[in-house]
Each structure stands twice: as C-alpha cells, then as structure tokens.
Amino acid sequence: MDIIVSARHMELSEAMKNSVIASLSNINHSNLLTKAEVVLDADHKKFIAEIVVKGKVSLEAKAEMDDMYQAIDKAVDRLQTQLDKKFAKIIDNHKGTHLGKVEAKHAAKSLQTEEE
C-alpha cells in the first residue's frame, strides 16, 4: 500500500511520519487497499489527523485530539472499525444461498408433495 503523509499548518516531523506508517501497516484487511493519503493538521491547540484510503473500498477517517499521536491512533482505530464492518458485509453477502437455489429447492419440494 502506498502511503502519502502531508502536513497542514505545521511542520511534518520524521517521527510523525513514521508513526503514521507504522500504524497503517498494522491494520487488518490491508489487502483491500492500494493507497492511503494522510493529512496532519494543527488548529488552535487541537491536532487533526485525516486518513483517506482507496482500493477495492474507499474510506475516510478523521480524529481531533489534544495530542497529534493520539489523533493518529484514533483515526487509525476508526479506519480499522470501518474496514472490519465493510469486510464483514462482504463475507456475510457471500455466505448466503443464492436465491435461484432456494427457489429450486422449494419447487422440488412442491413437486414431491404434489406427486404424493
């Protein structure tokens, strides 16, 4: 996954950049993602971390905290929650029986009861 980290209204330190890369490399279902764009922002004693990921799914997570590292962690946690929900939906949709098979079973049972 390509990770692009930028900063707005502040200087981007190497420690912040490494923190973002380390946090994003630990997320589950990263095989669904091809690109992550992270914007770190400072606004009157508040720090904002915004993450936009693209790939098979496109998601966005944003967090605002008093500490930049906490904001990064919170945004990554929110992104992980969204990815888990999206992945669970994909799995649940493929678990069910196809409607055509259900109708065929029902039709076969109807035929058996009519023959008896």
Q: Look at domain 2-115 and name its CATH class.
A: alpha beta
Is the CB of residue 2 less than 8 Å from the CB of residue 34? yes
* φ and ψ of 35, to 5 deg: -145, 140
d(CA 22, CA 24): 6
Is the CB of residue 69 less than 8 Å from the CB of residue 37? no
d(CA 42, CA 72): 12
Average pLDDT over residues 20-42: 92
- Within 13 Å of residue 32, how many CA atoms lie on the same side as its CB? 17
pLDDT digits (tens, 9 = 90+) for 65-109: 999 999 999 999 999 999 988 887 766 665 565 666 667 777 777
**Residue 20 or residue 93, greater confidence:** 20
Is the CB of residue 39 less than 8 Å from the CB of residue 59? no
